[in-house]
Amino acid sequence: MKSRAATAIAVVGVVAAGCSLSSGDGGTQQTPTVTLVTHDSFLAPQEVLDAFQKQSGIKVSVLKQGDAGSLTNKLVLTKANPIGDVAFGVDSTFASRALSEGVFEPYTSPEADRGPQRYAVDPEHRLSAVDVGDVCVNVDTNYFATKGIPAPETYDDLADPKYKDLLVAEDPATASPGLAFLLGTIAKYGDTGWKDYWTKLKANGVQVVSGWEEAYTKQFSGSSGKGPRPIVVSYASSPAAEVGDDGKPRTKALLDTCYRQVEYAGVLAGGKQVENARKVVDFLLSQQFQATVAANMYVYPARQGVDLPPGWAQVAPLPQKPQTLPADQVQAGREKWIGEWRTLVQQ
């Protein structure tokens, strides 16, 4: 979720600078290092990471592992010998899998009652919500204004012949936003109706690509890539990255096509730095870090009372009634739905 727009285009690895700490006997001791395993769109200001290190004495080393789906798969495959100490970026479409596989251990952060508990998915508190990044269909408003036709507004509109060959979406088997869009259609049309809907989308020329970056930066006409398709599955916050010199966005998120996607952090079970990993979770939920997520990762902070960048309320409003599915239902149906989707769309 950075749009996820801008961060997926130019994200760089972030590693907090190391330092030595004075020990009680006048010597020095090695700064403890906590490995934060995350997705490719993670981005935090270096000065914020440095401030955390100075305050806590903990060095944070960031290890990126693809998108949310790839991240979850890697954490599951390495759970017997974790590749890090704490993870951030497992989202609500994959959280149930990580929990059922025992990837995380219980931890209730003292910062959790500042808002993240609204998105709790586990009674054992193994995951803490860090941000919200609803997946929504986005449109290139200039395209439709030039063509003199109204832009679509709803799921049903996307299957209308007037929008034939205009939509690009991500594969739910390989991309988190693609899975979120599929789950949104299942929540909207039910366990049988969604198949009829996707049959209509296929007949209407929906293009499916492997990931968000290809869909948004190469196929979508409203981004810097200036692709051929004016409708794309992206994020509610993506228009904030597409504001022109006149201060107006060139794109718009369709708020009736959104699926709520929450990203979580948790302490990895079997990690070597448990106590320090807990402090990193506290940091990710803190006012200091939460104040950076909108501007740097184009998502909404989970913590209440955090100011958003100027104009977000108008350009990238948080959807009020997004589609959702219970975590246990997603866990039970995810692989079956993806298989059925593949049969319908890729045959």
Contact 282, 109 (CB under 8 A): yes
Contact 249, 242 (CB under 8 A): yes
Contact 327, 95 (CB under 8 A): yes
Q: How far apart are CA 134 and CA 137, in angstroms?
A: 10
Residues 6+ apart with CB under 8 A from 43: 2, 7, 11, 12, 14, 296, 297
pTM: 0.82
Radius of gyration over every alpha carbon of the chain, rounded to an integer in angstroms: 20
Q: Please state at what angle helix 274-285 crosses helix 46-56, rounded to 10 degrees.
A: 130
Q: What is the pLDDT along the chain (347 residues), one digit of tens a residue?
A: 444 544 333 333 333 333 333 334 444 458 899 999 999 989 999 999 999 999 999 999 999 998 888 899 999 999 999 999 999 999 988 898 899 999 999 999 999 998 878 889 889 999 999 999 899 999 999 999 999 999 999 999 999 999 999 999 999 988 889 999 999 999 999 998 999 999 999 999 999 999 888 999 999 999 887 899 999 999 999 998 888 777 788 999 999 999 999 999 999 999 999 999 999 999 999 999 999 999 999 899 999 999 998 888 888 888 989 999 988 899 899 999 999 999 999 87
| DSSP string for 205-226 | T-EEESSHHIIIIIIBTTSTT-
End-to-end alpha carbon distance in the chain: 29
